[in-house]
Amino acid sequence: MKAGMRSRRAQWTIAAVALVLGFLAIVQLRAQAGGVGFAGMSAQDLTTLVANLNQRNTQLSSEVATLSGQVRMLQDARARGVSVAGDLRNDLGRTRLWAGLDAVTGRGVTVDCDGPITADEANDLLNELRVAGAEALAVGSVRVVTGTVFAGPPGRLSVENFPLPAAFRVSAVGNSLNLTAALTRVGGIVSGLQVTNPDVRLVVTPADSLVLPATARSLIPADGRPRL
């Protein structure tokens, strides 16, 4: 707001200076056309008058240039302010996405889990997706955030105190090729579970468009405070 007021004030000042220059030019032209007002002046007086007018014109021109520079500076500052505000909004949006405070959409993979998978195995699945570059995760309709873990006995798992059916889906937003490769590689979690827990079935499916909900958990710290 202050920058806008200063910009308008500078523009008005430039206009006033231009008006003065125009007025002086008109006076000088009329004097040259009529010649009556200066008929009784000596050559020295006329020379002094012209020198004074030229000096004043130079001063006013310099002031116009200075004020024009100030206007440009204020306009540039305003443009930078708009750009910085946009960058801050983008940063805030990305932070809220990572924190799980906002719903998110994008490509990725789904992993359909069926069978008596243990809590540790399900948590390993989440960690494998995180390491592979997942930008957002959800289990069913529950957004996965910091501290989200599976708990409970096989076949009756829960996440964020939300009970899961025996068959449930994990959704991950991220590069679908990288996520699929990480899960299905030799020695990865899918092949590993086929050996250690053959009753569990994991089906990895790339997805062009996923929609993950925002978290319902309050993420306000109970003890920590930001350090500025």
Note the pLDDT tens digit of each residue in 45-61.
667 777 777 777 778 77
Phi, psi of 210 (to 5 degrees): -120, 150
Give the C-alpha separation, 226 to 146, whole Å: 17
Q: Residue 84's pLDDT is what?
A: 66
Q: Which of 65-69, 84-88, 150-154, 180-184 has the lowest mean pLDDT?
A: 84-88
Confidence class for position 90, pLDDT limits 50, 70, 90: confident
Tell me if 69 sits within 8 A of 164, measured CB to CB.
Answer: no
DSSP-derived letter for residue 227 is -
Give the C-alpha separation, 136 to 130, whole Å: 8
Q: Residue 169's pLDDT is what?
A: 96
Give the C-alpha separation, 142 to 35, whole Å: 92
Q: Residue 179's pLDDT is what?
A: 96
Give the other-Cβ count within 10 Å of 79's Cβ: 10
| pLDDT tens-place string over residues 117-151 | 999 999 999 999 999 999 999 999 999 998 889 99
Tell me if 71 sits within 8 A of 7, measured CB to CB.
Answer: yes
